[in-house]
């Protein structure tokens, strides 16, 4: 059975959707509990327009997540073209940390184990895992990380990012955690020595 094709949005509807997403990023970055009503007001759209695009808070949060995932995926590709694999991985991890610090409301959802049934309901998850695998493969090929390091290892290690509060020293704590992760993944890391 084929899925019906989505009708492309009119230009004004696309603009409204983008304004809502931009307002949501700003509002959720400041207050992870921001209401849909507050986001709609910030975007300058009526409640009907808001709910036409996003029927509930979860739909809006996942749309924000999907948009940020797009940025993460594109950034990884750019970094791999411009930097060494090790530097690309570390810089991409910094982008991931900023994403985690500003998207605290998604932390619980992202940390839950994923089953095949729920994977489809979590937009962007497979794309992030693919991006991680690409970055790790480039580093394995360069000999800069352990050959047995997997995307699952990486996601388990970076899960701590979702626990860091986005306060004054959150960025420093996140960067320290990322430095420790790089050491843990390093080809020189041999716990048997």
Residues 122, 136: one domain? Answer: yes
Residues 29, 65: one domain? Answer: no
Boundaries of domain holding 82:
58-185
Residues 71, 127: one domain? Answer: yes
Residue 125: predicted pLDDT: 78
Residues 118, 156: one domain? Answer: yes
CATH code for position 39: 1.10.10
- Residue 84 CA, chain-centre distance (Å), reads 22
User: Into how many domains does the chain fold?
Assistant: 2
CA 11/CA 121 separation, integer angstroms: 27
Residue 25: predicted pLDDT: 84
CA 92/CA 164 separation, integer angstroms: 18
With tokens 């409204």, the residue in question is 16
| Count of alpha carbons within 13 angstroms of residue 120, beta-carbon side | 2
Task: For residue 3, tell me if it sits in a domain.
Answer: no
CB burial class (10 A; 0-12, 13-18, 19+) of residue 83?
Answer: middle
Q: What is the mean pLDDT of residues 142-167?
A: 89
Residues 172, 84: one domain? Answer: yes
Q: Is the model's pLDDT at 168 over the cut of 50?
A: yes
Task: For residue 2, tell me if it sits in a domain.
Answer: no
Residues 147, 98: one domain? Answer: yes
What are the pLDDT digits (tens) for 81-127? 999 999 999 999 999 888 777 655 444 444 444 445 544 555 577 88
What are the pLDDT digits (tens) for 2-56? 445 556 668 888 999 999 999 998 887 777 788 899 999 999 999 999 999 999 9
Residues 37, 91: one domain? Answer: no
Residues 84, 129: one domain? Answer: yes
Residues 86, 16: one domain? Answer: no
User: Model pTM greater than 0.75?
Assistant: no
Task: For residue 99, tell me if it sits in a domain.
Answer: yes
With the CA atoms of 119, 124, 126 and 131 taken in that order, what torsion angle do they form, in degrees rounded to the nearest 10? -160
CATH code for position 64: 1.10.357.10
Residues 25, 98: one domain? Answer: no
Q: What is the mean pLDDT of residues 63-87?
A: 92
Query: Which tokens in the block code for residue 182?
Result: 């790089």
CA 133/CA 57 separation, integer angstroms: 31
Residue 193: predicted pLDDT: 52
């Amino acid at each position: 059975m084929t899925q019906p094709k989505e009708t492309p949005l009119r230009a004004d509807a696309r603009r409204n959707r983008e304004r809502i997403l931009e307002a949501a990023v700003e509002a959720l970055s400041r207050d992870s509990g921001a209401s849909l009503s507050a986001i709609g007001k910030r975007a300058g759209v009526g409640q009907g327009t808001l709910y036409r695009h996003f029927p509930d808070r979860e739909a809006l949060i996942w749309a924000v997540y999907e948009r940020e995932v797009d940025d993460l995926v594109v950034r990884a590709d750019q970094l791999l073209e411009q930097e060494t694999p090790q530097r690309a991985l570390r810089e991409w991890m910094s982008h991931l940390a900023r994403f985690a610090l500003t998207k605290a409301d998604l932390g619980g959802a992202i940390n839950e184990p994923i089953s095949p049934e729920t994977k489809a309901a979590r937009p962007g998850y497979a794309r992030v895992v693919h991006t991680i695998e690409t970055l790790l493969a480039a580093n394995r090929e360069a000999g800069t990380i352990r050959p047995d390091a997997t995307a699952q290892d990486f996601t388990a290690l970076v899960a701590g990012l979702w626990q860091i509060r986005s306060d004054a020293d959150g960025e420093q704590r996140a960067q320290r955690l990322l430095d420790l992760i790089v050491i843990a993944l390093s080809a020189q890391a041999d716990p048997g020595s």
